[in-house]
Amino acid sequence: MSSAERLASFEIIKRLGAGGMAEVFLAKKLGAEGTYKLLVLKRIHPSHARSRRFRAMFVEEAHLATRLNHPNIVQVYEFLDHGDEGLLLAMEYVEGYDLGRLMSVARQKGTRIPPWVSAYIIAEAAKGLHYAHERRDEGGSPLAIVHRDVSPQNILLSIEGAVKIADFGIASANLFREEPGTLKGKFGYMSPEQARGERVDRRSDIYGLGVVLYEVLALRSPYASKADPNVKPQDEELLEAVRNGNFLPPSEHVGEIPSELEAIVMRAMSHDREDRFQTARDMAGAIGRALLAKQELVDASNIETVVTMLLGRSSILPSAPPPSEAAQQTLAAIPQKRANTAGLAEQDDEPKVSVRRPREVRHVAGPRDAARRPTRARAGGGQRRRLQTRVRKPPRDPRSHRLQARRALDVDRLGPSRRAARLDHRHRRAAREPVAGGVRRGLSGGRRPRGARGRV
């Protein structure tokens, strides 16, 4: 399918892959004003589009997946029926790789994934599984969801270090009628009871998670032969080994595996389901306690480092421009500096570019600036120009008016006798104030006799 082709209301970018029942595409869902969202579209393979059995399985997957909303589970947005184009399941796009790809590249390069990083990946996947196992319907009844296909291909790692469980296509739940004796899943990751066709519960997923942890630590299957660790037995032989639980501890193949992690693997892969971790949260807690005991600080940044080191961080989107073009587009959006046109006048062929001259700004000094710097000269335009200063008169001190008003108020509050004495005291004080001809000694030029009081 070409990049310009459309599927219903989605623009297809590329085909990501296909399985036995469905095919998966990377697509854009277009919005207003040129906005879009990257999605993953899953639909039944055209060769099985008329099969009622595959259609029923696809609808069951949609019923389960649309009920799940957890950071460690791939989010399903909507389930659409587009008639002739088939049923479409729109899911979250996780930009990254699956754990199986990471293990394959590490095996090819002759290196190993750090054991504590591997344990952290499994602990994050266990959190998503525990959420699915504990999910209830609208009435509060347990859904009893069992993934039944826990494998490295269904554990996705984003380039930012997020871990997500994907593909509940063959999951079982109380919503659906289960046919007894049917085998669904990959033989190498089945629990013994699942390989025998018995009814399974959440502990079957815990067994599969233990097999994945075994493979990440040893980079080989627990059922692979010693002669060729990269080759698994044939289906019948493999199925018999899974039913009987015939495998060696991972330390028999790799000596650098921590004993704490090997104990977690062996407990998760116990033949009797009663001896395993009873919940996926218990398994995640055991890994967390082992990390704490060893004082190993592992988070998403460590996963990002490992993924980048082994697989790189290149974008898979064909619509992304090359780095050189992106830089040119960015520079073109920035206003460039105006060119100097000193030598352009002699070139007649070149268009003249008008130069914008800077505007002269005149500074108007305030009273303080005028006191410190009354004038300042600056050269400009071939002549000296003095800065214009505008000096304001200092504001009139209002204290005298306030003092007179306060005194008048104080005098009004006094009694008649004390008021007269106060006014007489002020009159005598005013008579002694200096004037142009000397000291005023009184209203008539002589001293006022003692005891004399003035009137208002």
β-strand partners of 16: none
Task: Report the candidate in 264, 126, 148 with the shortest Cα–Cα distance to residue 195.
Answer: 148
Quote the CA–CA distance of 190 and 211 in Å, as a whole number.
9
From the candidates 81, 98, 137, 149, which is the catalytic residue?
A: 149
User: Within 13 Å, how many C-alpha atoms sit on residue 452's CB side?
Assistant: 9
Q: Active-site residue 149, yes or no?
A: yes
Quote the CA–CA distance of 108 and 403 in Å, as a whole number.
97
Q: Give the number of other Cβ atoms within 10 Å of residue 128's Cβ.
A: 23
The length of the chain is: 456
Contact status, residue 389 vs residue 364, Cβ threshold 8 Å: yes
Sign (positive or negative) of CA dihedral 94, 99, 100, 105: positive
**Residue 232 CB contacts under 8 Å (≥ 6 apart), including other chains:** 188, 221, 223, 224, 238
Residues with catalytic annotation? 149
